[in-house]
């Protein structure tokens, strides 16, 4: 989990050095420690590796098509980790977007929540024509913990299975708070090669960990707005 997670992180060298080489260093350290009772190693990749696929919902058989350096670094990490599968019981998770109390406001939902909490008059966003599969961080942490007890060796999406547009998120935040604000697109926030839609399938996840029912995004927003 200790990696660069912000897609628009400005230091490309750090993205690859931390996400690929850093993960390799971790795996090597585990092997070099000589432990013989390790039951599971869970590595976090990203749903961003799928890129602008036309297949929705996205399951784990969809071919990768990374559209930014962050996504390329995560896919490269997966290939690198495969070199260690004969020595470690590795599971790769591909989380879709997730959020919760404490996440930095550089991420989309905390930024929106912060604007509504402060009852701002205006909010500047980047690409407005995007849809994302959002999960609650509490549900994602639960899935990771349960995957540690599941048979290793899989590649697993972690997602709610539902995609929301930005307009839907804004409408929910307004409904919860009773506050209306003006939203405008700031060209400086618009990313090149933005992935327009990411909606995942969690069928494989549920087959491995059993009954897993993620919270609806409205409940997560209400938790964040009330924090």
Residues involved in catalysis: 70
- The pairing of beta strand 135-136 with beta strand 98-99: parallel
Per the omega criterion (within 30 degrees of 0), is the bond before 57 cis? yes
- CA nearest to 212, candidates 160, 153, 155: 160
How far is the C-alpha of 37 from the C-alpha of 109, rounded, in Å?
40
- The pairing of beta strand 90-95 with beta strand 41-44: parallel
Task: Compute CA 133 distance to the chain's CA centroid, rounded to the nearest angstrom.
Answer: 9
């Amino acid at each position: 989990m200790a990696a660069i997670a912000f897609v628009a992180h400005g230091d490309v060298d750090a993205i690859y050095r931390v996400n690929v080489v850093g993960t390799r260093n971790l795996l090597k350290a585990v092997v070099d420690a000589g432990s013989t009772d390790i039951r599971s190693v869970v590595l976090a990749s990203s749903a961003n590796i799928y890129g602008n696929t036309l297949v929705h919902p996205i399951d784990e058989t969809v071919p990768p098509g990374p559209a930014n350096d962050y996504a390329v670094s995560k896919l490269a990490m997966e290939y690198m980790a495969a070199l260690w599968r004969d020595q470690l019981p590795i599971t790769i998770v591909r989380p879709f977007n997730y959020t919760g109390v404490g996440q930095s406001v550089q991420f989309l939902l905390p930024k929106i929540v912060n604007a509504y909490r402060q009852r701002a008059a205006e909010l500047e966003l980047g690409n407005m024509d995007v849809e994302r599969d959002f999960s609650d961080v509490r549900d994602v942490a639960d899935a990771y913990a349960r995957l540690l007890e599941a048979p290793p060796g899989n590649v697993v999406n972690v997602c709610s299975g539902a995609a929301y547009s930005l307009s839907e998120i804004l409408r929910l935040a307004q409904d919860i708070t009773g506050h209306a604000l003006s939203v405008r697109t700031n060209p400086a926030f618009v990313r090149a090669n933005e992935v327009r839609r990411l909606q995942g399938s969690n069928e494989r996840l549920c087959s491995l960990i059993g009954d897993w029912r993620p919270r609806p995004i409205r409940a997560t927003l209400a938790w964040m707005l009330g924090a």
